[in-house]
Amino acid sequence: MSRIAVFPGSFDPMTIGHKAILERALPLFDKIIVAIGVNSDKKNCFTIEERIAQVRQAVKSMDGVEIATYETLTTDFCKKCNAKYILRGLRSVSDFEYERNIAEINKLLSSDIETIFMVSDSKYAAISSSMVRELKAFGKEYQQYMA
Ligand code: ADP
């Protein structure tokens, strides 16, 4: 049975921090599906087409990575893909508090799906999609943080 993980997120945009987590997690799974959440209520900086194109470019040399979009609950999307693992990154204690709640809810929804956390390398701990969006909004250099 192959080990399939879903790496869900907004990826608005995918940063070098996300990419580092993905690269480190790849040896643990047969396949990782980068799942870009489409949430019509959320005001995104990059369109879904832009995000797909950016992620596609970022993962083009990685074997075992697929890209998908989804509009459902993450656990329902995992079931659709036969994924038994959800991959998430942790940068800080505040990430942990937030992520633990999500992981608990997902566990209640689907007890057979495990959330796997990877702690970010300290050099990526301050990097976030929101930071990139802020730099972009104020006309500053942001490309170096994009995956
Ligand atoms: P969401 O909108 O669901 O929070 P994001 O696209 O912001 O999704 O992030 C997806 C996952 O990547 C989350 O688990 C987040 O904590 C993690 N992540 C974001 N930035 C980094 C980083 N610099 N290093 C490690 N993990 C990160």
Confidence of residue 63 (pLDDT cuts 50, 70, 90): very high
Specify whether the CB–CB gap between 87 and 113 falls below 8 A: no
pLDDT greater than 90 at residue 1: no
For 65-122, write each residue's pLDDT tens digit.
999 999 999 999 999 999 999 999 999 999 999 999 999 999 999 999 999 999 999 9
By the 10 Å C-beta count (0-12 exposed, 13-18 middle, 19+ buried), 26 is classed as middle
Residue 128 alpha carbon, nearest atom of ligand 1: 20
Specify whether the CB–CB gap between 116 and 85 falls below 8 A: yes
Residues with CB under 6 A from ligand 1: 9-11, 15, 17-18, 21, 88-89, 91, 95, 120, 124, 127-129
- Closest Cα to residue 96, out of 115, 73, 71? 115
- pTM exceeds cut of 0.85: yes
Tell me how crowded residue 52 is: count the other CB atoms within 10 A of its CB: 17
For 28-40, write each residue's pLDDT tens digit.
999 999 999 998 7
By the 10 Å C-beta count (0-12 exposed, 13-18 middle, 19+ buried), 96 is classed as middle
CA of 6 to the centre of ligand 1 (A): 13
Peptide bond into 13 cis (omega under 30): yes
pLDDT score of 42: 77
- Closest Cα to residue 79, out of 117, 40, 106? 106
**Which residue minimizes the CA distance to atom 10 of ligand 1?**
9
